[in-house]
Structure 1
């Protein structure tokens, strides 16, 4: 029996962020009672109703030039008019985000902050990664979860000369699965608490 639906809306320029999105979906699907809806940013405008019915939306985009990709920004801008004017408000939905870039830092925090502000503009509740920083001591490893030490969302790094069949590495995909599961568990708590109240 489905208790909650989590939508993942993402843009991927070269396929790397798509792999990350699939990992987020896999993590969310590990929670019993969760149904998932995976949409590209280009597909999302044809699914405003389904997004309006979802209990949570996880946003994903590559970081280009210090922020989300232009295709993801098109989706963001379209949502402000379409969602609010059609009475499909996302207020009180759960939200989270993930991003990927070619360099280790790559200004990914700026993208996650933009996503969190976008969620706040819609009145959504942002869920953080809830992982300590990995790979930050002499005993740390590149295989640690949250190896880049982000708190606001899941970050991945994909070498620009390697395709999505190789990168992002497993540590980053595992971090994305962790985010998906965390959002699923939080969403179930939120939905069940609302029903009980």
Structure 2
């Protein structure tokens, strides 16, 4: 079986992050091979992520899009457990030169989602990855995408677990953008 070019790996607690992940996947899959991996809480043992099979799938992808809800101004504990489990890969720089991007959602319009994206971009930089943000100027896109105006990655807002239509369009766009860039780097 061939490895997907673009891999979306995410944690979703209430389902809204998963809805964004699925929209990103749809955009990426329109361009090239893509896969979704939801971080499973059962794979966290004593606070540490232990699914080596998932980590090996990440090793094989050309582009990785990380997703997590924003809790208390940062990534969820479940996502952080996954990130912490990548230290051996960091030491060996196994993910160096892969493309990376990120997305997050929160219950407030700001909710410090930028802090989560900053964490994800630093995580990618530590691995030697090449971070790709949105190339949509907030408030200037003809379709209204990137409505919250974050260039570092996709931020979304939801009070009721539903995803705003424009945030879904932005997620789809992000998936297409990263898949197109991954093709250019092949």
User: For the aligned residues, what is the CA RMSD?
Assistant: 2.1
User: Where does structure 1 lack aligned partners over 5 or more consecutive residues?
Assistant: 192-197
Q: Which residue of 1 aligns with 2:116?
A: 111
1:117-128 matches, cutoff 5 A: 117-128=122-133
User: Where does structure 2 lack aligned partners over 5 or more consecutive residues?
Assistant: 44-50
Q: Is the 8 A contact 1:146 1:154 kept in 2?
A: yes
The alpha carbon displacement at 1:55 in A equals: 0.4
SS of 1:188 mapped into structure 2:
helix
SS of 2:35 mapped into structure 1:
strand
SS of 1:59 mapped into structure 2:
strand
1:151 aligns with 2:151: yes
Q: Which residue of 2 aligns with 1:49?
A: 56
**TM-score relative to the length of structure 1:** 0.83
1:1-197 matches, cutoff 5 A: 5-31=5-31, 34-42=32-40, 45-81=52-88, 83-84=89-90, 89-134=94-139, 144-159=144-159, 162-163=160-161, 167-191=162-186
**TM-score relative to the length of structure 2:** 0.88
Task: List, as ranges, runs of 4+ consecutive aligned residues in structure 1 with deviation greater than 2 Å.
Answer: 41-46
Q: Is the 8 A contact 2:156 2:167 kept in 1?
A: yes
| Alpha-carbon distance between aligned partners in 2 of 1:144 and 1:65, rounded to the nearest angstrom | 28
